[in-house]
Amino acid sequence: MPGWFSLLPGLLIPAWFWLAQVQGWPFWPAGLLLVPLAWRGAGSLQLPRWALLGATALGLAAVFARHELPVLFYPVLVNAAFLALFGLSLRARQTVIERIARLREPELPPAAVVYTRKVTIAWCIFFIVNGLIALWTTQQARMVWTLYNGAISYLLTGLMFAGEWLIRQRVRRGIDG
């Protein structure tokens, strides 16, 4: 199976919510998509085991209860899992961002290591804020939840990546130059 195929449930969940919102369909069937998404994400991203079990439980609870509420908490769980992954790496010898950076450049200068730690902290702050907003949306109208968790959150994540990339270019020039 191609690697991109495993991303399909992650793309289908926001699509399902948009379609369900427009058509007036229930949200809870998206719980069926959480189980394979959780298992794929936990394996490939090395997310904590509790995140895998939590996502599986949310998906199964939504399906068995035929209720949307468990699915609505999935974005909160994802942000908490990434916060744990990035945050706990701050206590390790190398942060998540440093490990990623060393894949491209194994001999990072000390200034770059300091920078990767700061980027890891910035991502932790992002996951806290994004997770709190996702939590807030669980108590809002479904269109608010859908708009934020199915579009705005992805846009903000993309902007965070792009902003960090731009800043990294300036930092590299300062380190190299």
CA 177 – CA 40 distance, rounded (Å): 41
Helix (H, G, I), strand (E, B) or coil at 57: helix
pTM for the model stands at 0.81
Specify the pLDDT at position 1.
44
CA atoms within 13 A on the CB side of 136: 10
* 85 and 126 both lie in a single domain: yes
* 141 and 79 both lie in a single domain: yes
Q: Token pair 């390790």 is at which residue? A: 92
* 165 and 105 both lie in a single domain: yes
* 95 and 159 both lie in a single domain: yes
* 94 and 175 both lie in a single domain: yes
- Whether 80 contacts 53, CB under 8 Å: no
pLDDT tens digits for range 113-164:
899 999 999 999 999 999 999 999 999 998 899 899 988 998 999 999 899 8
pLDDT tens digits for range 62-110:
888 887 888 889 899 889 989 999 999 999 999 999 998 888 888 888 8
